[in-house]
Amino acid sequence: MIVNPAHWSTSREDERISALKSAALLDSPVEETFDQFTKLACAALTAPVSLISLVDENRQFFKSSMGLPAPWDSERQTPLSHSLCKYVVQSSEPLYLTDARLNPLLKDNLAIEDLGVVAYLGIPLITAQEHALGSFCVIDSQPRAWTHRDMEIMQGIADLRMRNIELRILAQQLSDEVKELGSADLCRRIAELVAA
């Protein structure tokens, strides 16, 4: 499903951006733990490109990229004019395209020409609070019919990646609370989180 950005709830988008920023992944350095997932996706689906793309108000930031052409591989971001991942975020649903050039709503997206995106399979990276932070995707420069197995593999890898991201968010929240709370309050708060 492709969502028209004009139909997006502003308050819901503000909450999503806040969740994205609290994850502290935007503009962060390359990390091998993220690269392992994009490498795995490329190998499992024999796809030339895989991305973990985080979408903010103006751009998509690549927390990890495998096979992305220059200069995008070193810049690690594109404006939203070059993003199919933004549609995954807007709908919070997977997006699979056999040939984006034939899709009437996407055929003019600059990712097609500038990044060589033809076939695309993107899975939303959704928090426990149901905020889509970005997309975990694979791309092919040739038309490709994605299989049900491809989608299951990508969903499974995306779920594993999100568990790790959720732990990072929780660790950041705990760190922030440690700074604000005394030791008795901290012990009570940890007990609450463990029980949740």
Mean pLDDT of the chain: 88
| pLDDT score at 6 | 47
Q: List, in sequence order, every residue forming a beta bridge with 99; answer none if it has no partner.
A: none
Give Cα separations from 192 to 28, 155, 166, 188, 196 (angstroms): 30, 30, 17, 6, 6
Q: List, in sequence order, every residue forming a beta bridge with 137; answer none if it has no partner.
A: 51, 122
DSSP codes of every residue in 87-131: HHHHHTS-EEES-GGG-TTTTT-HHHHHH---EEEEEEEE-TT--
Q: Homologous superfamily of 5-165 in CATH?
A: GAF domain (3.30.450.40)
- pLDDT tens, position by position, 45-89: 999 999 999 999 999 999 999 999 889 899 999 999 999 999 999
| pLDDT score at 164 | 85
Q: For 133-149, what is the mean pLDDT?
A: 97
| pLDDT score at 2 | 53
Amino acid at 150: D
Give Cα separations from 11 to 15, 17, 51, 119, 141 (angstroms): 6, 10, 28, 32, 36
